[in-house]
Chains A and B, each alone.
Chain A
Amino acid sequence: MRLIIFISAFLALISCSNNNQANLEKLDKVYGRCDNPHRQFSDREYKICVAQERAGDLDREPVSISSLFNRPKNETTTQQSFGSSINPFLWQSSLKVLKNYPLKNVDSIGGYIETEPVYDKENLSQRCTIKITILSSQLISNGVESNILCEQKNQDIWVSTNENFSNEENKLSLRILAEAQNLSKTNLN
């Protein structure tokens, strides 16, 4: 009877819920992902999490075994038909990730994408620009580089803030790589 009541309460709560993942990520910043009281880890997963936390590498993606056996059969041919020396999946995924932002510079030969400055509507004296560079003709983990440059308006002159956004840049690169991997699998099928 206790189990039935519990499951009924579960179903009622689920119907009222949203943004579960967003809340979990907010609590990760307070308690740390490994000690977030709302995440369940096995002992082994917890130790791996602690090791990643010590190394400042919580965004490290696990190695996908499935992808090792699903490499594109003729990646070289695909690159040649694309007409440039950059990986086409990284290029297409970069454009897809930045699709909601107006683009200022797009160089498909050199593998460079730059967005128009993004402004904070509540403070027009601040703006940031995203720059994506495709570094490789292969779909590899270091084949894309992301840069976020932010500026502050100072007496009508835009001055770089020189802030370090390595964490956000790393997240952008990881999402481009994840999307590129999905595109490569779709291309296989």
Chain B
Amino acid sequence: MKKIVYLLSAIGAAFAGTAHADVSVSGSAVSTYASSDANQYVNTSGGVSFALSTTTASGMAISTSGGITTDLEGTAARASTGLTSLTFATGGATIVIGNDVAAPQIGNVGGVAGDMVDQGHQSVDASPAIGTDADQDGSGISLTTAVGGGSLTAVYVWDGSPNANGQGNPDAGDSSMGFSFSMPAGAATVTVGHSVSDDTTNENDTLSGITVAYPAMGGTLSAGYQQSQGEIDATAISAAYSMSLDADTSLAIGIKSSDEGAGSASTTEAKISRALGGGASVYAEIKSSSGNSTGAGVTAGASSTFAIGTSVAF
């Protein structure tokens, strides 16, 4: 039965490539209460995103996006964002050029909760990372394309720290490159990734990882392994399970255990959300972490945080 329905719904996909010059807007807002030991946080934030797109005479879609955000629970405070990259999409590939390009970091599947459970939570220092900049993103180019039955993403970041004007310098000496490849393996999906980073103080820091996702017990079971070498030598294994309890309720649990020299840490996260219709939902999330007292491990903050909230997509 699924096969017939798939064929019927595919007639909609035949029109998926229809595009024309358009400006569209979407947005989201969240209101969350988070508790971590003696500290409590109440936050309401959100933002809008404007998507600009057009289609050339040859059928290639070109798009960009910008927005206004007040993500107080994340790293970006009130700010206008985006409009710093262009995306070119054809039937065979998607190319992104600009300042929002990130080298692939594959192998960590344990982080299932959102940002609010990080408020007041202790910092987990034992974790694979590529050099001093754990998030290798910046000015560069990425390509995503199909190769056989799999998907390949290749990324080159020529400047991990664009200047204040957002301009990237290919000769900055702070570059990263990497790839990720996903392919089916029977009923499972395997994704591998490898990134290399060079900056002014360190050369050839690497981050490698593998993820295997398998449908099980009505949901998806994922396992991951990640390893970094260079300035930070660390390994981590993680696992996650996500499922739908019913048409409106979803559940996910994730765990991660990492080692960096003498330090070790483990983290457990869980979330449950229920759709209310009209783009609204309510959710609850929890994060718990622990580590050893010597070496790196965990520092400061609470070891367990809990957050409940509601979010709306417009």
The closest CB in chain A to the CB of B209 belongs to A37
Name B's interface SS. strand
The closest CB in chain B to the CB of A45 belongs to B49
Q: Contacts of B295 on A, CB cut-off 8 Å?
A: none
Given A65-B25, A130-B8, A182–B313 Cβ distance below 8 Å?
no
B69 at the interface (CB under 8 A from A): yes
Q: Contacts of A7 on B, CB cut-off 8 Å?
A: 141
Q: Are A20 and B92 in contact (CB under 8 A)?
A: yes
Q: Are B104 and A37 in contact (CB under 8 A)?
A: yes
Q: Which of A164-181 contact B (CB under 8 A)?
A: 164-168, 171-172, 174-175, 178-179
Given A175-B15, A179-B15, A55–B312 Cβ distance below 8 Å?
yes
Which of A61, A62, A66, A178 gathers most chain B CB within 10 Å?
A62
A73 at the interface (CB under 8 A from B): no
Q: Are A13 and B154 in contact (CB under 8 A)?
A: yes
Q: Are B8 and A42 in contact (CB under 8 A)?
A: no
Q: Are B275 and A54 in contact (CB under 8 A)?
A: yes
Q: Are B144 and A150 in contact (CB under 8 A)?
A: no
A165→B4 CA distance, assembly (Å): 11
A63→B29 CA distance, assembly (Å): 16
A19→B151 CA distance, assembly (Å): 9
Q: B25: shortest Cβ distance to chain A, in Å?
A: 5
Q: Contacts of B182 on A, CB cut-off 8 Å?
A: 23, 27, 37-38
Q: Which of A11-63 contact B (CB under 8 A)?
A: 13-14, 16-24, 26-27, 30-32, 37-40, 42-45, 47-48, 50-52, 54-57, 60-63
A31→B106 CA distance, assembly (Å): 12
Q: Contacts of A45 on B, CB cut-off 8 Å?
A: 49, 65, 67
Q: Are B26 and A62 in contact (CB under 8 A)?
A: yes
Q: Are B12 and A150 in contact (CB under 8 A)?
A: no
Q: Are B21 and A66 in contact (CB under 8 A)?
A: yes
Interface-lining segment among A81-89, A106-114, A120-128, A137-145: A120-128
Q: Contacts of B71 on A, CB cut-off 8 Å?
A: 43-44, 47
Q: Are B281 and A148 in contact (CB under 8 A)?
A: no
Q: Contacts of A166 on B, CB cut-off 8 Å?
A: 247
Q: Are A13 and B143 in contact (CB under 8 A)?
A: yes
A147→B203 CA distance, assembly (Å): 59
Q: B276: shortest Cβ distance to chain A, in Å?
A: 7
Q: Are A172 and B154 in contact (CB under 8 A)?
A: no
Q: Are A51 and B281 in contact (CB under 8 A)?
A: yes
Q: Which of B44-76 contact A (CB under 8 A)?
A: 46-49, 51, 65, 67, 69, 71, 74-76
B248 at the interface (CB under 8 A from A): yes
B9 at the interface (CB under 8 A from A): yes
Q: Contacts of B312 on A, CB cut-off 8 Å?
A: 51, 55
Q: Are B193 and A37 in contact (CB under 8 A)?
A: yes
Q: A147: shortest Cβ distance to chain B, in Å?
A: 11
Interface-lining segment among B93-101, B225-233, B260-268, B299-307: B93-101
Q: Are B154 and A9 in contact (CB under 8 A)?
A: yes
A98 at the interface (CB under 8 A from B): yes
Encode contact with A along B135-175: 1 for CB under 8 Å, 0 otherwise: 00000011111110111111010100000000000100001
Q: Which of A76-121 contact B (CB under 8 A)?
A: 97-98, 100-101, 118-120
> Which of B20, B152, B170 has a CB less than 8 Å from the CB of A13?
B152
Q: Which of B238-284 contact A (CB under 8 A)?
A: 242, 247-248, 250, 273, 275-281, 283
B206 at the interface (CB under 8 A from A): no
Q: Are A6 and B141 in contact (CB under 8 A)?
A: yes
Pick 7 A–B contacts, CB within 8 A, sort by A: A13-B145, A20-B94, A20-B146, A30-B220, A32-B242, A48-B28, A64-B23
Q: Which 3 A-B pairs have the closest CB atoms?
A: A175-B12, A51-B28, A62-B24
